[in-house]
Chains A and B, each alone.
Chain A
Amino acid sequence: MIKAEPRTILSFIHTHFDVIRDLFNYQSTDGIITREVYDMICNRHGHTMNARLREYRVIRPIGSDYEMRDVYFRLMEFLLFEFKPLLPETIEKYKGSIGDLFLKIRKYEQQDRDILQERIKGLSHQIREFVDLVERNAFRLLAETRDLKSNIERVDYKEKVHKASFWIDYYILPLNKILDVNHSESVANTLMEISEYANRRRLDFGDETTRSEFEKLYVQLIQTNTDLLRQSKILTNELLPLLERIRTESLILTGWIEFLRNPYKMETPPLMKGSRTMTYAKDMLYKVREFFEQFSAPEVVMYEDSVEDFDKWIFDREVFMNKLAKQMPVNDFFGWCFNTLKKDFDEIETEKFFAVTGLLFDEALQIDFPKKDERVEIKTTTSHLSVPKLKVEPAIKI
């Protein structure tokens, strides 16, 4: 029996949380707290520590060593969220306890009312423990898998394959079986059965207090089934594919590393050797010969020299623009074009005339249109043009 007040114990845990966490860590790692470790921890915190730990029943001696009592261990697990994944076999035991209680409730439901209510409460408690364990396990497995994926511990690929296979084979697949509602032997299936039974009895059971207990059980089971379904989904949709991928990827990388150790001494996938038609292919000679042979027959070709010189005049925009700039303002732009060309050529072709009139589009010029319909006649070698009399002057710069 503990003489101390509950508040005193909680206050002790609060003050010496580091001590209890150290003890928890040692026990989590080694499964036991050795005498040396225990003495070291106690000595560090003064001579009363040993007495207090014993008085508040935090630890108990196991031979010459110690272990943390289950209630404290679980409290620390819960507070630190550091659960060890449990083997599904450990969780599966609930199938027995839940199944037995359910069987007794059904079988003796018309006997003693008090024991029936106690059994319903007991069943509810077992279900709560079961769901709690499943949730903790799924959480821990997810954390372990993510650690494996990020590979913080730098385990090599072979080890990763091994670990992934280990989690899949011994934890995830069996746990999934426990949670598979469609599997007649699964715990989830038994819970579904209990839920149906509780649903009926909460409505039709003779005694009101027992009806109320069934009601509570039924409500609890609705939530439980939802929770289990969620856990099952995490296992099948997230954990299993992730682990499978880690396993496959690590397996492939193991193979590649093995291959890269000595790539020239291993047989690689036997692919056909491709052949390409190169320009210097074997039949190139014949193809080229054939090509040239088509031109080998001489052909009579007639040609005559042209005596006519072709006009090499190319319009030099800059020269004409300079000429225009010197004479601006020009009252008759088209007349100016014709006269300027006339200085160089006796006869003016239409193309030449039009080339020079292209100056009109220069942005440096401002064009004034005649107020009246004044037109100018221009005669080129081939055309007779009637054009308006345009005045051009330098554009005003803004």
Chain B
Amino acid sequence: MVYPKHHRQIVEELMNGKFILSNEEHFNELKENEAFFQEFFKVSFDLDLNIKAEYAYLLSKETSENFSRDVSIFIAILSYELDKDGRNFLEAIEFNEFTTEEIDRYFDNSSFIDLIESNKAIKDPDGRRTLINGMARRNIVYKNFEDRFVFTQAYKVFVDFAKELALKRMSPESAN
């Protein structure tokens, strides 16, 4: 049997919780062999592979995964604070470069202070840097320098999650 090119890299990265982005060479291989990889992960590990136009990642069966929750809280607070600051938060997340100093300023002055202080991953600058490094390892952010980063297209997973949550809450069934 002939495996697609970059097979090992694709499997290792996805299994490590990393997003594969459309600007990476092996993304094309993954996209071209979408059916094969879907089946491969399902049969081998009983995992679902989610391939979008801009990124691909494996869906975990473990629902108590803290990292995803921490990232969601991080992006949620950042979005809220950017909007409060009068900035187009979606545009900022999509195109802007953030400095860790800027992030600290937003978090230190946030009205969600209780939530921030109760979460180890975001409560202080060191925790936030560790979280940002974790996001960089998984291709959710890209670090231009030690203290500067941009979000990759993988941020859309979290934004879509928020959108779905809002639609669910705003639906007439939910009101009833």
Contact = CB atoms under 8 A, between A and B. Distances in A.
Q: Do A and B come from one complex?
A: yes
A260 B112 contact: yes
B115 A259 contact: no
Given A249-B83, A253-B83, A273 B60 contact: yes
Contacts of A161: 166, 170
Contacts of B161: 255, 259, 268-269
B116 to A, nearest CB: 10
B69 interface: yes
Contacts of B165: 255, 258-259, 266
Provide the main secondary structure of the chain B interface: helix
Given A251-B166, A266-B165, A256 B76 contact: yes
Interface stretch (B10-18, B30-38, B98-106, B141-149): B10-18
A264 B166 CA distance: 17
Contacts of A252: 79, 90, 159, 162-163, 166
A252 to B, nearest CB: 5
A28 interface: no
B77 interface: yes
B169 A258 contact: yes
B155 to A, nearest CB: 11
B26 interface: no
B65 interface: yes
Given A260-B80, A263-B115, A245 B16 contact: no
B62 interface: yes
Nearest to B45: A272
A302 interface: no
Contacts of A268: 65, 68-69, 71-72, 161
B73 A254 contact: no
Interface in A236-288: 245, 248-249, 251-260, 263-264, 266-276
B165 to A, nearest CB: 4
B166 A258 contact: yes
B17 A270 contact: no
A274 B18 contact: yes
Contacts of B138: 271, 274
A245 B83 CA distance: 13
B83 A259 contact: no
Contact of A264 (B69, B90, B134): B69
A74 interface: no
B176 to A, nearest CB: 16
B86 to A, nearest CB: 8
B49 to A, nearest CB: 10
B137 interface: yes
A274 B137 contact: yes
Nearest to A275: B16
Nearest to B77: A260
Interface of B: 14-18, 47, 57-63, 65, 67-69, 71-73, 75-77, 79-80, 83, 88-90, 112, 115, 134, 137-138, 157-159, 161-167, 169-170
